[in-house]
Amino acid sequence: MSTLYQPSPRANHKFSERCGAHVFAEALQRHGVKYLFGQSIPSALHLVAPDYGMRQVAYRTENAGAVMADGFARMSNQVPVVTAQNGPAATLLVPGLAEALKASIPIVAIVQDVHRKFTDRNAFQELDHIALFQGSAKWIRRVSEITRIDDYVDMAFAAASSGRPGPAVLIAPIDLFEETVGTSQNIIDKKRATNLGTFPLDRFGADQAQVEKAAALIAAAERPVVIAGGGVHVSQACEALAALQEKASLPVGTTAMGKGTVSEDHPLSLGVVGYFMGKRGMARYHRQLVTKADVVVLVGNRTNQNGTDSWGLYPPGATYIHIDIDGQEVGRNYDALRLVGDARPTLEALTEALSRQDLSKRQAARSGLEAKIAEGREKHRTEALEMTQSDQSPIRPERLMAEIDTHLTKDSVVVADASFASIWITNFLKARAAGQRFLSPRGLAGLGWGLPMAMGAHVADPSREIFCVVGDGGFGHVWSELETARRMDMKLILFVLNNSILGYQEHAEDLFFGDHTDACRFVAVDHAAIARAVGCAGIRVENPAELAAAIEQAKAHNGLTLIDVITDDRAFPPVTAFDEKY
């Protein structure tokens, strides 16, 4: 690990006497916090944090900082902390927290507010922060007494990590951080000891009677299928899902955020199913295994628009079994047998219940099912071959994916921006083990979050090789974070798909409206030069024959390497809506 990750206690600040900042830092330390994703504010907290073993990861924009925290949480299953100043800075946290809310990722955000005596006097950058975060956090509170800091920090961590995880926002006035401890009015006479900094915090399985019913339905099914979502990763339930897959000989498909919950080398794995099962899609030839299913088991799956191909993929006449920690998600779009509980203990209980069922029907069907899946994989491989082996320039994204895939191991981490980048990686890179991480901000799918998510993943585990794929449209939102990566000595391999367009927007507008708006086209940008300007390595690739050498060079470089790949602007990913048009 880089020495830049080691906190260095500061000797010159004025907070040597124990004050609110120390109380905050002690509470965060108790919850296992080692990194604070934050700019300078709250200054008092960041100045004392190194004394408590915490390192500041200073982002350039709050938007990116929140997503760094998100990526850290997804990789580590630890609750991260992001900080921001009141007013404009706080507003920039909203997009990243909204992504975490939709994707069920816990984050504790500490937002500094104006001095208590200036409240509601139109102080500088004063804002109603409780109203601001209403749509992007599951819990929002303001702490105003130094004796309650421990209480509120614990409430924030418990809210973020329990039940369906999500962001919690704790607002604290600036003077609270500086208030000294020990006067007769604020003596702290109680100590908390519990660590609430990992998730899931409280594991509980679904009702056992419901589990037994589900086992009976699966054992009796003619054509069952499992579709796993990102909740399986959040629950750390990949091994439990793999055991269920093997025990009951079940075909398993995943959503985009569920990719990697099972090995895609397993003979019963379908790959990613949803709205990108179009031409050259990984699961294109497995579609009927979903549409013709008589029992569908949904695990940690929101049944959202993209994952269900606008609710047209999942069969209307099937029986549904839905496992989810959030009872409001169960049955939201498909009437289902309700298995409300954490995915891991529920899957373990379901596998155990299946051991008491007659699984001869499932076992008898296995060889034929495996043969059908193998046939579909070969059809996909053959169909995609023209593009995965293409020597054309500008470069086909499928060709780049094929090159990246040769470098992946089961321990590799792949991160993608939303939009086309996430579709390319989910369809043309293979998950080699249950639990392998393919991170993408598909909760809300905002552009520009690929790089900061990869940076957060690196902070969580600097030993892992991280490949990040972004489009030039999204990357334009976060160029500034290259400086953060350089300053923090982060080793990442960043691929920019440089086609000078907003790909999804232009292609969709052309499809639906016959033309596209002016905003879809950019002037040519040399992203490799931008990387070099801040001290990172930058390589420009225009010929596919140069890809292998560029990747090897990036792997050898001890820092961030940006590979600017000039790609075909008429390369359409396997979105089903594009099939007839393109």
Tokens 């830092």: give the residue.
Answer: 25
Q: Is the pLDDT score of 131 beyond 80?
A: yes
Q: What is the pLDDT of residues 152-192, one digit of tens each?
A: 999 999 999 999 999 999 999 999 999 998 764 556 667 78
| pLDDT score for 506 | 82
| pLDDT score for 124 | 81
Rounded to the nearest 10 degrees, the angle between the axes of helix 547-556 and helix 397-405 is 50
For the whole model, what pTM was predicted? Answer: 0.95
| Residues 236, 238, 241, 243, CA torsion sign | negative
| pLDDT score for 1 | 41
Contact (Cβ atoms closer than 8 angstroms) between residue 107 and residue 80: yes
DSSP codes, 415-443: EE-TTHHHHHHHHHS---STT--EE--TT
**pLDDT mean over 449-457:** 97
Q: Is the pLDDT score of 426 beyond 60?
A: yes
CA distances from 355 to 299, 320, 322, 352, 359 (A): 20, 21, 20, 5, 8
Report how far residue 4's alpha carbon sits from residue 311's, in angstroms, rounded to the nearest whole number. 47
| pLDDT score for 343 | 98
Where is 404: in which H helix or E strand?
Answer: helix 397-405
**pLDDT mean over 376-392:** 96
Which residues, other chains included, contact 155 with Cβ-Cβ below 8 Å and sequence gap of 6+? 139, 141, 168
| pLDDT score for 121 | 86
| pLDDT score for 334 | 97
| pLDDT score for 520 | 85
CA distances from 571 to 139, 280, 385, 452, 498 (A): 42, 12, 14, 26, 12
Confidence of residue 457 (pLDDT cuts 50, 70, 90): very high
Report how far residue 91's alpha carbon sits from residue 330's, in angstroms, rounded to the nearest whole number. 32
Terminal alpha carbon distance of the chain: 47
| pLDDT score for 126 | 78
Contact (Cβ atoms closer than 8 angstroms) between residue 540 and residue 528: yes
Q: What is the pLDDT of residues 543-570, one digit of tens each?
A: 999 999 999 999 999 999 999 999 999 9
Contact (Cβ atoms closer than 8 angstroms) between residue 170 and residue 311: no
Rounded to the nearest 10 degrees, the angle between the axes of helix 149-161 and helix 20-30 is 30
Report how far residue 204's alpha carbon sits from residue 136's, in angstroms, rounded to the nearest whole number. 26
Q: What is the pLDDT of residues 488-502, one digit of tens each?
A: 999 999 999 999 887
Confidence of residue 200 (pLDDT cuts 50, 70, 90): very high
Peptide bond into 200 cis (omega under 30): yes
Q: Phi and psi of 53, rounded to 5°?
A: 80, 20
Which residues, other chains included, contact 56 with Cβ-Cβ below 8 Å and sequence gap of 6+? 35, 36, 38, 46, 49, 50
| pLDDT score for 581 | 67
